Structures are given as structure tokens and as C-alpha cells.
Amino acid sequence: MPRDAEIRLRDRLSKLGGLDLLRGARLSGELDRLQRQLDRIEAEPTDEEIWSKVELARHEDRPYTLDYVERLLEDWFELHGDRGRADDAALVTGLGKLEGRTVALIGHQKGRDIKERTKRNFGMAYPEGYRKAMRVMALADQHGFPLVTLVDTPGAYPGIAAEQHGQGGAIARSQATMARLDVPTVSCIIGEGGSGGAVAIALADTVLMQENAIYSVISPEGCAAILWRDAGEKRKAAAAFKPDATHCLELGVIDGIVPEPAGGAQTSPDEAARLLGAAIGDALEELDDVPRDELRARRRAKFRSMGVLA
């Protein structure tokens, strides 16, 4: 297929190359970042590499939202509850200082042991979680805090109560709330970006993906069960729908890839956090240059243009 993303990147690279005197160090950082992304695009992942990313994205030692929070945010204060009926532990929200400024953070949270996993419902939120997220989005907007979201969920919880409490509508309204914000928003897929439950908090100005994260319309197992009628064909399914960061960047779905330590984020959570923090900081700084009254229109235009037509 035509590599539009590659052409756009080359275009940006050549433009930035001629501008490096204007903004100094930060710009050369940008150049490096784009160059790395270009290198990644040119090295298209094989089917095996895609599957290894699926495994890394789900690795049980992979850092979760709160692992990054404790490494990146100072004065963290967690905000609980949807102000309606519950506090969903599968989705954490709070305020903290990132590089000296207050940001609102929303992220899915998985658990490490059985007890924690049960409490966090394996990172699968109920509508109450998305309502809590919407409340915190409104809070950020009210006070002008940039919004950072970290996506790591197999999907929104498919349960009886979740449906009765309006799972579909909550996911739709959470996206709509993000589409209305006047503050800068940055999302990063840090593990599994599973379907509606993921995109519910990822309608952001800048959407990033960690190198070994996945972002997909359905799980490989689910896709295999439906299209191949055999969940065991998950590798084939993953190879077919290409949930890896490189393909997402190529398809224009994300704006950048955040590098991880060699071997994956679980090998060094500290280094993974440093790289993630730098990428989010850079993204927020870029967004500072966009006039506030243009942010929303720009964000909407980006999502309006998603998709490929014949």
C-alpha cells in the first residue's frame, strides 16, 4: 500500500531540518523522534514480531498506570467515584504535577496478584469507570489542566450489570466529552488498547503508543473465534488486523511511538517511565503552541479524517 504516513513524515522531517535554528534543542529532539519513527516504518514488522508485541503488551510484569504515576507525577492525589453510584477501581483518575504543572490523569489499571486483579477487574471498566473519567475530564476543563490518559484494557467489561448501567452509552459520551474539551489532551496506549473501552478515553489531540503496545478493534482471540471460527487461530488474526504501533502509525491512527527499554517496558519500569514521561512532556509542550481556541477544532478534524476510502 502507499506509505502516506511515510511521505508525511519525510515531509515533516525535511521541513524541520530547515528550521532547527528557530527552536533549538527541543526541535532537534523532535527531529530524532521523527527519524526514529521513520526508521520503524521502514522496518515493517513480521507476523511473528506482531505476535510478540501482543505478548509483551499483556506481559504480567509490564508497568501499569499506577507504576507510571508514582514515577512521573508529584503530589499525586487520586480522585475516587463517579458521584453517582460507585468507584470503579479498573479506571483510576487523579491530579498530579508533571514537570511542574498540574495535570489530570485518567488510566486503566490492571492488577498484579489475584486479589488486586479481582479488585481491578483485570482493567475492564464498568460504565461507572467511564462516568468517573468524564467527571474528571470536566474538572480538567474547568481548571485548565491538561489531560493525560493512559490506555491499558482488554476492553470494557462485558457483564450483565455493565450493560444494565449503560456501557455503550457511557463509552460514547466519554468520547463526546473529550471532543468538547478546551484543554490539551494526550493519550498513550501503554499495553492493551482493546476496542471501545480503550478509545473511550483516547480521543486526544496527541495519541501515542508505546513500542510494544497494541491497539485494536477486537482481541486476536475474539477475531479468530468469529472469522476463523477457532480462537486458536489468534496469531493469524493478529497478523491480519495488525494491532502493533508501527501499523497504527502508518494508518494515521496514532501520532507517535514511545520507545521502550530493550526487551520491553517490563525489563526496566524506571527507564520505561522516563521515556514515557519525556514523550508526554514533549507532546504537551507542542500543544502549548496551539492556541486554545484552535485545539478542539484541530482535534475534531483529526478524527473526522480517519479511515481509508477507495
Partner 1 sequence: MAEAKIDVSIEHKQAPEPPQKKHPNTCPSCGSHYRDDELAESLRVCTHCGHHFPVKAHERIEQLADGGSFVEEAADLRSADPLGFFDLRAYNERLAEAEIGTGLGDALVIGSAAIEQLPCELAVMDFSFMGGSMGSVTGEKFARACESAAAAQVPLVSVSASGGARMQEGILALMQLPKTVVAVEELHDAGCALISVMAHPTTGGLLASFASLGDVVIAEPGALMSFAGPRVVAQTTREKLPDDFGLAESNLRFGHIDAIVPRPELRSTLARLLRLFGAE
Residue 262 cell numbers, joined: 530493550
* Nearer to partner 1 (CB atom), residue 76 or residue 228: 228
DSSP conformational letter for 55 = H
User: What whole-number distance in Å separates Cα of residue 262 and Cα of residue 217?
Assistant: 27
Partners of residue 95 on adjacent β-strands: 77, 104
* Nearer to partner 1 (CB atom), residue 69 or residue 223: 223
Do residues 206 and 283 touch, judged by C-beta distance below 8 A? yes
> In whole angstroms, what separates CA 36 from the centre of its chain?
19
* Nearer to partner 1 (CB atom), residue 110 or residue 132: 110
Q: Nearest to residue 109, comparing CAs of 53, 139, 69, 159?
A: 69
- Shortest distance, CB of residue 308 to partner 1, whole angstroms? 4
Q: Nearest to residue 3, comparing CAs of 249, 179, 228, 184?
A: 249
* Nearer to partner 1 (CB atom), residue 114 or residue 310: 310
- Shortest distance, CB of residue 138 to partner 1, whole angstroms? 15
Do residues 8 and 34 touch, judged by C-beta distance below 8 A? no
* Nearer to partner 1 (CB atom), residue 218 or residue 283: 218
- Shortest distance, CB of residue 220 to partner 1, whole angstroms? 9
| Contact footprint for partner 1 (CB under 8 A) | 1, 122, 124, 154-160, 162-169, 171-173, 175-176, 179-180, 194-200, 202-203, 215-219, 221-223, 225-228, 231, 234, 236-237, 240-243, 247-248, 251, 253, 299-300, 303-304, 306-310
- Shortest distance, CB of residue 103 to partner 1, whole angstroms? 21
Residue 310 cell numbers, joined: 477507495
- Shortest distance, CB of residue 307 to partner 1, whole angstroms? 3
